[in-house]
Amino acid sequence: MQKVIAIVFAVLLSSITHTTELEQKALNSLYDEIWHHTMISSPTYATYVGYPGQNGRWSDISLETVKTNKEKRREFLERLRALNSENLDEDSLLGWQLVEKNLSDEIDGYAFPEEFILIHQRSGVQQDIADTLSMMPKASRQDFTDRIARLQGAADYIDQNILMLREGLRRNITPPQITLRDVPDQIRNTTPEDLLKSPLLKSFGNFPKSMSKDEQNKIINEAIAIVKDSTYPAFARLLTFLENDYIPNANSSIALSDMPNGANWYRHRAKRFTTSDLTPQQIHSLGLREVKRIRKQMDNVIAESGFNGTFEQFTTFLRTDPQFYMTSAESLLAGYRDIAKRADPELAKMFGKLPRMPYGVIPIPDYAAKSQTTAYYWGGSSKDGRPGYFYANTYALETRPTWEMEALTLHEAMPGHHLQISLAQELPETHALLQNLSYTGFVEGWGLYAESLGDEMGFYQDPYSKFGQLTYEMWRAVRLVVDTGMHLFGWDRQKSIDFFASNTAKSMHDIEVEIDRYISWPAQALAYKIGELKFKELRARATEKLDEKFDLRSFHDQLHEKGALPLDVLDHRTDIVSYTHLRAHETKANLVC
């Protein structure tokens, strides 16, 4: 009898294993399809991640193709949900849940006409073309053939943008007018009279040794001809359209809630960016509480510094005293690089696993710097041999104080964005689709949490740098208040600027650029503080639960072992992992005893 039972059990186990393998194979096959569709529908993103075969193309942003792509994504979600997820192992189930959430959130967003919001001073076709060309690889003759093909297609891409912008204008769906004011000059900076100074041609250099001088000259001359005869005229058409039609007739309101179905649009964006169930009202209230808490810490730092004056006098001192400002772009970049170098040896104390991908610190391109924020990060690609880059803004040096440099470097480079994004890209035996899922609450929350690690890494030793770190934390708390305030609760731009200026030492130029960023990118800025608070909450819970067994390096590694996650999934998973870690530790201790 026992033998019969054993045989039946073995058959059942074999059947279950076979079923699980079939479901896993079907899931991986679907991942392949979703990833490939993502790459062919967004060729510039394909270039960013190093996906082959798309480097000569631009996205087709026409209404017809947008509709087709939406239908395809709906089909993917239906097929994903049709799989029996109960037959998947733990890791595969997590992947299924992440892709399901990503697709369903994306599809929920189809209720709102995002496809018409294509341009403002932070992004758009006026920057995309030069930025994409600069990002492309240069390892072979084919790389430059692709570069020529992409440059050749730029005029059609610009004209397609004009058509979509015109249709958005007809439907009264445009970015706020205030966020478009610098776009014409960005186009002029991209198309200077001296064609050889155009950023469109900047990437046509550093040829591989396999290409002869004749081949190189042929490529350069072809690129010059395309820019002169095709790209420049297309940009001229865009400039005329923007200045004569689009900008004068764009929406004057800064509030997303004033758009068709705008209040629900904002709520959707807030939920998607934060990956939390917090309502805009709860986020607004949380922001006010955080502003009050951080302000008290800032007042304490001022008192400890020995400064004899008010908060406003201290921030004026930090904004205006020459001792806090570099005198050249080169010295500013050197300062950032020095901080990055000093951070590197401290990382081993806080992380058991570090990324292999190298990174550099370079300036934001001149043609975009005026309207860009203080800094940003671009991930690298091991496939294309491109490192990660921390882009620092060297425009208007009198607005780039040294007291903010430590916090900014830790956020954008290590242990911030470069560490987190690179570790996700280097996940072993993980599908590229899962490696590149990105959740703003996790990604930007980690960047802000990384700033707070500076105290443990030996930074913020003088009161000015410490005040700078608190200014950066306050900056993200202020965002919760002004972003929700402007888009849902009737705040105007000036009220938001005044609230920002009264609580931070950021320069007025930076404050205005930031406020315009929140206007042009509703709800994105909410993710930073929400994510940071979640990381700090998880660390506090793990510390309390594990007590003296808590290990910071192990905790940080656990946070990153599955890449970026929605904050609700991260919360659940971290509780499970911390408990498992504790049980494993106790079991090991018992065995030793």
How far apart are the C-alpha atoms of 135 and 563, rounded to whole Å?
24
Single-letter amino acid, residue 509: H
User: Do 36 and 49 meet the contact criterion of CB atoms below 8 Å apart?
Assistant: no
User: 118-142, pLDDT tens digit by residue?
Assistant: 999 989 999 999 999 999 999 999 9
Span 498-530, pLDDT tens digits: 999 999 888 898 899 999 999 999 999 999 999
Q: How far apart are CA 477 and CA 483, in angstroms?
A: 10
pLDDT in tens, 317-355: 999 999 999 999 999 999 999 999 999 999 999 999 999
| CA dist., res. 41 & res. 325, Å (int) | 44
Cα–Cα distance, 68 to 37 (Å, whole number): 11
Confidence of residue 590 (pLDDT cuts 50, 70, 90): very low
Instruction: Give the helix/strand (H/E) hosting 359.
Output: strand 359-363
Rg for the chain, CA atoms, rounded:
26
Give the pLDDT band (50/70/90) at residue 14.
very low
CA-based nearest residue to 418, from 462, 440, 393, 387: 387
- For residue 349, the model assigns a pLDDT of 95
The phi, psi pair for 377, rounded to 5°, reads -120, 140
Check residue 127 and give its pLDDT: 94
How does DSSP classify residue 122? T
pLDDT for res 34:
98
pTM exceeds 0.75 for this model:
yes
What's the token pair of residue 264? Answer: 């629900």
Bridge partners of 32, per DSSP, are: none
Residue 257 has pLDDT above 50, yes or no: yes
pLDDT of residue 474 exceeding 70, the answer is yes
Tell me: the pLDDT tens digits for 162-178?
A: 999 999 999 999 999 99
Q: What is the pLDDT of residue 372?
A: 82
pLDDT for the residue numbered 577 = 55
Given this model, what pLDDT does residue 576 score? 60
Give the pLDDT confidence score for residue 15 in this predicted structure.
43
Work out the percent of the chain whose per-residue pLDDT is above 90. 85
What does the pLDDT read at residue 13?
44
pLDDT of residue 423: 95
Express each pLDDT in 366-395 by its tens digit.
888 887 888 999 999 888 889 999 999 999
Contacts with 591 (C-beta within 8 Å, 6 or more apart), sequence order:
none
Average pLDDT of the chain is 92
Annotate 339-377 with b (16+ C-beta within 10 A) or e (fewer). Answer: bbeebeebbeebbeebbebebebbbbbebbbbbbebbeb
pLDDT of 591 reads 37
Quick one: pLDDT band at residue 429, thresholds 50, 70, 90?
A: confident
Question: Using 50, 70 and 90 to split pLDDT, how confident is the model at 578?
Answer: low
Residue 8 — very low, low, confident or very high, per pLDDT cuts 50/70/90?
very low
In this predicted model, what pLDDT tens digit does every residue of 526-553 receive, in sequence order? 999 999 999 999 999 999 999 999 999 9
- Per residue in 281-314, pLDDT (tens digit) is 999 999 999 999 999 999 999 999 999 999 999 9
In this predicted structure, the answer to whether residue 10 has a pLDDT above a threshold of 60 is no
Give the residue among 426, 413, 411, 430 at the shortest CA–CA distance from 356. 426
Q: Which long-range contacts (CB under 8 A, 24 or more apart) does 580-584 make?
A: 581/546, 581/549, 581/554, 582/545, 582/546, 582/549
